[in-house]
Amino acid sequence: MIESEIERRWWKEAVVYQIYPRSFNDTDGDGVGDLPGIVEKVDYLDDLGIDVVWLNPVYESPNADNGYDVSDYRAIMDEFGGMADWEELLDELHERDMRLIMDLVVNHTSDEHEWFVRSREDDPEYGEFYWWREGVDSGGVEWTSEEGPDGEAPPNGWQSIFGGPAWAYDETREAWYLHLFDRKQPDLHWRNPAVREAIYEMMEWWLEKGIDGFRLDAIAHLGKEEGLPTDLDEPMNGTMKHAGNDPRVHEYLTEMNERVLSRELLTVGEVGTSTVPDEDAHAYLDHERDGLSMLVHFEHVNIDREDSIYEPGEWTLPELKSVLDRWDGLTEEEGWVAQYLSNHDQPRQVSRFGSETYRRESAKLLGTLLHTLRGTPFVYQGEELGMTNYPWTSLSEFEDVATRNPVERAIERGDVESFEEVREAVAAESRDNGRTPVQWTDGENAGFTDGEPWIGINPDKETVNAAAAREDPDSVWHYYRELISLRSDDEVGDLIVYGEYEQLTPEHESLWIYTRTFEGERLLVALNFSDGRTTIDLPTNAVDAGATADLLLANYAIEGAVTAVGDLADLVLRPWEARVYHVDAE
């Protein structure tokens, strides 16, 4: 790739750090993280080298889905503080040249949002703000929901993404409303121009406050099919097909782009891949049209997912490689992706894709992967410490609706006898793994709160915590710091951000070797995804065997930092060993 072909953008060169405020740092002792708690840690983020903070929702919310059920877009949730705290956070970040992006949750609101309260009363202004429909005659179809008038079934059989019917009956309006997520999250009716207007105004309000962009939640679901099919047996994937990715979504995004997004913002669209097939991904990746800088897709984090959270899943390295390789291909000409393996909706990456036995090594290896693939790395809070999954023992320890709902329903239905029967799978897959508090110290409650934490704290805080990590030069934290700094390095920065990616070992079960190439410079990355030793198997024609390979970074101590590429073949990599070489490719 030559210089003139690359499209330089600040957000491609940035590293994003995701903060889940509930679990970040609590300053008032109520057991819930807050905005002053984030302000307290701004220097921590700066020391790590972060460029952008993405804040999960902090708006007023009854918290049915931890803030993804917004009851007032222009107010801050009491538990998190007030608007003055938010403004202070923005100032502190900007003062250190860090930027802030907000979570934009506009597929749905809370049922406690004023719009919904008025909509259920059929207020002339808000009556059509949501998807209201009449029920249908259940006509002998066995309908399991107990709500709604006798003999009446919901408009169709769509299932909510969190389990159970996607329709709830409202006694006040005497009609059914659509909720693709929890019943306390009614879907906004995007076909109504008044809804769109209200959203753009709200976005403009935040932009005027000085934010640097948005992460757009569940964005493909804004477009829903015409005439809602009325098949009561419509299965879950049918729901996803009809209630997402309708071409209208691009009309809305284009309009949103023209109205509010067309400035130098970072806009990250969250696009579930069961909703958006490959051939449609391009439409979302067209930055000029839809205004999205990059996509967060789910395909790689779905490779070990079965239909429900209580079915154990498996993944293989060739599968992971093939998904991420395909996305690199999809974005080769146009578009950009967020590179991540964990967030607040996913288990901890070390426990899932790495190895708890080789926690430190595998945490560093996974970080190496995310920071040397093409795309913008997203670091999820605690990832830089190598945090692991929580040792869950009972269903009551979970807080997440998307964990509890399906398991409780499966027990009710008799599909599952008890939590114990499915404990292992649920414990491995629950989103709550990513939501246990950041471990700052080995002290009480890991230094997260002086009160009673809202969710369990991982007992491994004794060894896995920020204070210990910062003192130990060999920690995951220091390694992340180095990885992050490479992105703005004079010598290799462009190569890491813009270099073309080439996979060298697509089928190998435990090795992932790839190159990144930019203007005669090349990176060679070798990763051993296993608890055992693996011999490097380098295709002879892949890189010039005589070229000099300069060790840039490694997660084990290595003697002899400079070698010839040819000497790397037959080299034995230790468990979860990661090496990054800078090769002179001329």
Q: With respect to ligand NOJ, which residue has the nearer C-beta, 65 or 399?
A: 65
Q: Is 65 in the site for ligand NOJ (CB under 6 A)?
A: yes
Q: With respect to ligand NOJ, which residue has the nearer C-beta, 218 or 573?
A: 218
Minimum distance, C-beta of residue 268 to ligand NOJ, in the bound complex (Å): 11
Active site residue 270: yes
Minimum distance, C-beta of residue 15 to ligand NOJ, in the bound complex (Å): 20
Distance CA 165, CA 236 (A): 10
DSSP labels for 2-54? -GGG----TTTS--EEEE-GGGT--SSSSSS--HHHHHHTHHHHHHHT--EEE
Distance CA 337, CA 329 (A): 11
Contact pattern for ligand NOJ over residues 189 through 228, marking x by CB under 6 A? ----------------------------xx----------
| Active-site entry in 270, 304, 399, 460 | 270
Minimum distance, C-beta of residue 272 to ligand NOJ, in the bound complex (Å): 8
Distance CA 182, CA 111 (A): 10
Active site residue 432: no
Q: Is 122 in the site for ligand NOJ (CB under 6 A)?
A: no
Q: With respect to ligand NOJ, which residue has the nearer C-beta, 68 or 398?
A: 68
Q: Is 68 in the site for ligand NOJ (CB under 6 A)?
A: yes
What residues pair up with 516 in beta bridges, in sequence order?
Answer: 501, 523
Q: What sign results for the dihedral spanned by CA atoms 409, 133, 138, 228?
A: negative
DSSP labels for 514-570? EEEEETTEEEEEEEE-SSS-EE----TTTS-TTSEEEEEEESS--S-SEEEGGGGTT
Q: Is 181 in the site for ligand NOJ (CB under 6 A)?
A: yes
Q: With respect to ligand NOJ, which residue has the nearer C-beta, 85 or 217?
A: 217
Contact pattern for ligand NOJ over residues 147 through 166, marking x by CB under 6 A? --------------------
Q: 181-195: string of b/e by CB count within 10 Å (b at 16+)?
A: bbbbbbbbbbbbeeb
Q: With respect to ligand NOJ, which residue has the nearer C-beta, 345 or 550?
A: 345
Distance CA 482, CA 488 (A): 11
Minimum distance, C-beta of residue 251 to ligand NOJ, in the bound complex (Å): 22
Measured at CB, which residue is nearest to ligand NOJ?
A: 68
Contact pattern for ligand NOJ over residues 442 through 481, marking x by CB under 6 A? ----------------------------------------
Contact pattern for ligand NOJ over residues 338 through 367, marking x by CB under 6 A? ------xx----------------------
Q: 504-542: string of b/e by CB count within 10 Å (b at 16+)?
A: bbeebebbbbbbbbbeebbbbbbbbbbeeebebebeeeb
Q: With respect to ligand NOJ, which residue has the nearer C-beta, 359 or 435?
A: 435
Q: Is 400 in the site for ligand NOJ (CB under 6 A)?
A: no
How many CB atoms are closer than 10 A to CB 7? Answer: 9
Stretch 270-309 residues interacting with ligand NOJ (CB under 6 A): 270
Minimum distance, C-beta of residue 427 to ligand NOJ, in the bound complex (Å): 19
Sheet strands (E) in 327-467: 338-339, 376-380
| Active-site entry in 51, 85, 217, 460 | 217
Minimum distance, C-beta of residue 367 to ligand NOJ, in the bound complex (Å): 22
Looking only at the bridges linking them, the beta strands covering 16-19 and 152-153 are: unpaired
Minimum distance, C-beta of residue 105 to ligand NOJ, in the bound complex (Å): 5
Minimum distance, C-beta of residue 163 to ligand NOJ, in the bound complex (Å): 12
Q: With respect to ligand NOJ, which residue has the nearer C-beta, 270 or 577?
A: 270
Long-range contacts, 34-39 (Cβ 8 Å, 24+): 34/79, 34/80, 34/81, 34/85, 35/76, 35/80, 35/81, 35/85, 35/86, 35/88, 35/89, 36/81, 36/85, 36/88, 38/89, 39/85, 39/88, 39/89, 39/92
Q: Is 387 in the site for ligand NOJ (CB under 6 A)?
A: no
Stretch 90-109 residues interacting with ligand NOJ (CB under 6 A): 105
Q: Is 55 in the site for ligand NOJ (CB under 6 A)?
A: no
Distance CA 87, CA 382 (A): 24
Of residues 335, 316, 421, the one with CA closest to residue 376: 335
Count of residues binding ligand NOJ (CB under 6 A)?
A: 9
Q: With respect to ligand NOJ, which residue has the nearer C-beta, 344 or 360?
A: 344
Q: With respect to ligand NOJ, which residue has the nearer C-beta, 168 or 538?
A: 168
Strand order in the sheet with 294-297: 294-297, 266-271, 213-216, 99-104, 52-55, 16-19, 376-380, 338-339
Minimum distance, C-beta of residue 68 to ligand NOJ, in the bound complex (Å): 3
The answer to whether 458 touches 477, Cβ cutoff 8 Å, is no
Q: Which residues of this chain interact with ligand NOJ, rule CB under 6 A?
A: 65, 68, 105, 181, 217-218, 270, 344-345
Catalytic residues: 217, 270
